[in-house]
């Protein structure tokens, strides 16, 4: 049975608006692909992040991870929802690294992928990364 968290409509609208706003701060001189993320914390606050690119591409950081790292740096590790906004034909989904980071903290969390035209695709972290790596799983396998 799939468990999903209910998030109020007002919170969803606010979350998407915050992701759109922070998207403008993205540092994307190489790809010119700006992404904004807004994370609704279990404390009711919204934590935002945008992508930050680097000439050494491997050092670039996605918007989702920036938002998570901001929240964690402020002491929060439990989240209710994520909105991800990009200017693309279809809404974009988190990359594999971001999916794993999100699964670390809130695997059941709803993820709203949104483009600037208003199209929204809804999913959950569990659906996006059904077999996420966890230390707990490794320990359980050692016991078997």
Sheet strand arrangement including 79-86: 46-50, 35-41, 79-86, 110-115, 120-124
Is residue 64 part of the annotated active site? The answer reads yes
What are the angstrom distances between the C-alpha of 9 and each of 15, 81, 141? 10, 12, 40
Cβ neighbours for 104, distance < 8 A, ≥ 6 positions apart: 132, 134
From 10, 53, 64, 108, active-site residue: 64
Residues with catalytic function: 64
């Amino acid at each position: 049975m799939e468990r999903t968290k209910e998030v109020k409509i007002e919170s969803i609208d606010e979350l998407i608006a915050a992701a759109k706003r922070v998207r403008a701060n993205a540092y994307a001189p190489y790809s010119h692909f700006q992404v904004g993320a807004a994370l609704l914390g279990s404390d009711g606050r919204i934590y935002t992040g945008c992508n930050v690119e680097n000439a050494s591409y491997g050092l670039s950081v996605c918007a989702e991870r920036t938002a998570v790292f901001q929240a964690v740096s402020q002491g929060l590790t439990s989240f209710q929802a994520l909105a991800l906004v990009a200017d693309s034909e279809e809404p974009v989904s988190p990359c594999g690294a971001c999916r794993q980071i999100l699964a670390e903290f809130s695997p059941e969390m709803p993820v709203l992928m949104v483009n600037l035209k208003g199209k929204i695709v809804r999913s959950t972290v569990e659906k996006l990364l059904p077999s996420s790596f966890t230390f707990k799983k490794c320990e359980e396998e050692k016991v078997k």
